[in-house]
């Protein structure tokens, strides 16, 4: 049972729904059916959702693998907090006009550190 990963997967699912609804709302508002309609607001919303989709699955897979291997509870919560915190900071920083670059960058760094830490931990456990 992946109780800790499930907690963060549930939080990520809520964030995904929020980002998806933001895209849908802007598509309706600006009458854009396909693509971004050369509308910057729609493009930004699409990319915020897309970036979430690009990073979140691998992060959750790594968390699940770490939890399956018996990683400590504190380490798993740290990974989950980095994932959710990073995705939240990135989304907020990216979707504001003008963008809040420091939040966007902090989100990127948190996510990359999370992926790196989880990946190294999984490899170390598998090799030892």
Q: How would residue 104 be classed by pLDDT, with cut points 50, 70 and 90?
A: very high
pLDDT for 3-34, tens place per residue? Answer: 999 999 999 999 999 999 999 999 999 999 99
**Residue 91, pLDDT score:** 97
| pLDDT average, residue stretch 65-79 | 97
**Residue 128, pLDDT score:** 86
CA–CA gap between residue 53 and residue 71 (Å, rounded): 25
| pLDDT average, residue stretch 56-63 | 98
């Amino acid at each position: 049972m992946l109780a800790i990963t499930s907690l963060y997967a549930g939080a990520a699912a809520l964030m995904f729904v929020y980002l998806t609804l933001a895209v849908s709302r802007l598509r309706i508002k600006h009458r854009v059916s396909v693509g971004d309609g050369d509308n910057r607001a729609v493009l930004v919303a699409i990319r915020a959702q897309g970036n979430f989709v690009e990073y979140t699955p691998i992060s959750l897979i790594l968390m699940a693998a770490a939890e399956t291997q018996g990683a400590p509870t504190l380490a798993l919560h740290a990974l989950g907090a980095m994932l959710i915190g990073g995705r939240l900071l990135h989304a907020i920083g990216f979707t504001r006009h003008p963008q809040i670059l420091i939040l966007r960058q902090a989100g990127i760094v948190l996510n990359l550190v999370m992926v790196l830490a989880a990946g190294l931990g999984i490899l170390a456990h598998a090799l030892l």
